[in-house]
Structure 1
Amino acid sequence: MIGIRAANLSGDCHFNRELLRGHLNIRGQHQICVRRRAELSVKMNPYCAQKAKEAVDAAWNTCIKDTAPFDRVP
Structure 2
Amino acid sequence: MSTLKLADVVPTTQGPEVTGLSLDSFRMQMRRDPNAPKPFKIGFQNFYVRAELVRWAKGRKAASIARCTK
Q: TM-score range by the shorter chain?
A: 0.3 to 0.5
Return the structure number with greater relative CO, CA threshold 8 A, min gap 6. 1
Normalized per residue, which structure has more strand? Answer: 2
TM-score (ref. length: structure 2): 0.35
Q: Max radius of gyration: which structure?
A: 2
TM-score (ref. length: structure 1): 0.33
